[in-house]
Chains A and B, each alone.
Chain A
């Protein structure tokens, strides 16, 4: 089968409120994504990174196990007092994220600019 394994690219972007660390996901997000997602997150310093942006714009398939990994990431980020914003989900996966209640802990934005602005100053 085609290799659709998860890849995560970290980028730093500047905003009026300071630096934002962007986790750009590519590929499927499933039970096999744990090392890519949580391993990458664990490489981000909780002391210096307080704003994390999740970019799903290059993700086509997310299953419930993948959503569970995103919840684990949010659990860890909450313990580290880090804020999370999200953008790039398809309308379908925006609906799914809303159904399971993730939107109580992160806002889903249409694009990167609005997601960055949502962190505030």
Chain B
């Protein structure tokens, strides 16, 4: 059996913590270990920030949708915005270039998302918008 929880957030930085807290509560109820809950919190927060900043350009008339779906396989989180998707692939940050000011110090969100969850995919579906889909799998649940 599956069940869903849906949130709509304003495109205002700081409100990603609402999604982060909700995802953490759901993951705890499902029995995920605290380390996995922390991973999910950061991944969801980064996904929402990207949606607000890059997808919705911080236009507060646009909302960020967050859909949490629970089933026997794990927890899926979709974060939806009105943009066209990131348009870039995920790459590990080059800390040497960042530390020496040779590339922007920002731009680590997608890398963190992909590193912290079991599955991450970015889907562009114009004209309706785009979304990122995150999954943490139940086989990582603590005994």
Chain A residues within CB distance 8 Å of chain B = 1, 30-32, 61, 63-65, 67-69, 71-72, 74-75, 78, 90-92, 96, 99-102, 104-105
Contact = CB atoms under 8 A, between A and B. Distances in A.
Interface in B54-113: 93-96, 98-101, 104-109, 111-112
Given A63-B49, A91-B35, A92-B35, A100 B105 contact: no
Contacts of A30: 13-14
B14 A67 contact: no
A100 B106 CA distance: 11
Chain A: interface secondary structure? helix
Most chain A CB within a 10 A radius of its CB, from B39, B49, B105: B105
A96 B105 contact: no
A54 B16 CA distance: 26
A30 B13 CA distance: 9
17 contacts: A30-B14, A32-B14, A63-B49, A64-B106, A64-B109, A65-B49, A65-B106, A67-B108, A68-B106, A75-B98, A75-B100, A75-B105, A91-B35, A96-B112, A100-B93, A100-B112, A101-B95
